Amino acid sequence: SADSGDDTNGAGGPGAPDDTDTAASEPVRWLCGTFAIGDPQASHLLGSLPPVIVLRGAEGAVPEGLEVARRMLGIEMQSPSQGSAVMIARILDLVFIQIMRTWAAGPDAEPNWLAGAFDPQIGPALSAIHQEPCHDWTVEELARVCNLSRSAFAARFVGRVGKPPATYLAHVRLDAATGLLRDTLLPVSSVAEKVGYESEAAFSRAFKNRYGTPPARWRRALR
């Protein structure tokens, strides 16, 4: 959902003129909105974000993509018509993605999977891992996906994601396993196989190391 309004910066409060600073009395447009993420796996995303994100374009300008989305949102809100609610929801999706993209590419982004996902050189490797987490990806294979040398890829991956490719792959597999344990009745052995583990024992050890409890017990706790 979204809401907007106008305000005026001035020493006397909203709308008050300021004779000493003409620029301070220029109107300011503010836009408020909410973005709900219902996927339990979104903790991956939310945990990567700071409490507040401040975006600054070149010389204070709003990033172009975000400005285009803002104008589209303003049109739908000021002149609502049939289908405006759906349009607003989709435009908010674009706003959210633009904010994430701009923040991840900026100097304030700490190394994490989100920064890597929006990195044009590392992003293809993360996409490959998420599309086929059960594949035994090697650094060499992922480097080829990104058209980088092994050493350049490994260094950039750690610099942007904050962990080596093998560690990231293991975390993606275990996150996928939690979804299967939660949403299906597959036995633990089948879950282990689907997410790329050769044995149930190896999967159970990795799962317990990550989540503090064996997969079968983790599943029972959800029931």
Find how far residue 218's CA is from the centre of its chain: 26
Number of helical H runs and strand E runs in the chain: 11, 2
pLDDT for residue 122? 94
Reported in sequence order, the residue ranges of the chain that DSSP labels E, i.e. its strands, are: 2-8, 27-33
In tens digits, the chain (223 residues) has pLDDT values of 656 554 444 333 334 444 445 455 667 777 777 777 666 556 666 667 788 888 765 555 667 778 888 888 888 888 888 888 899 888 888 888 888 888 877 777 778 888 888 899 999 999 999 999 999 999 999 999 999 999 999 999 999 999 999 999 999 999 999 999 999 999 999 999 999 999 999 999 999 999 999 999 999 998 7
pLDDT for residue 59? 59
Q: Is the separation of the CB atoms in 25 and 9 below 8 Å?
A: yes
What amino acid occupies position 203? F
pLDDT for residue 14? 39
pLDDT for residue 188? 97
CATH of domain 111-223: 1.10.10.60
Q: Where are the domains of the chain?
A: 2-105, 111-223
Spatial separation of the C-alpha atoms in residues 169 and 144, rounded to whole Å = 16
pLDDT for residue 43? 61
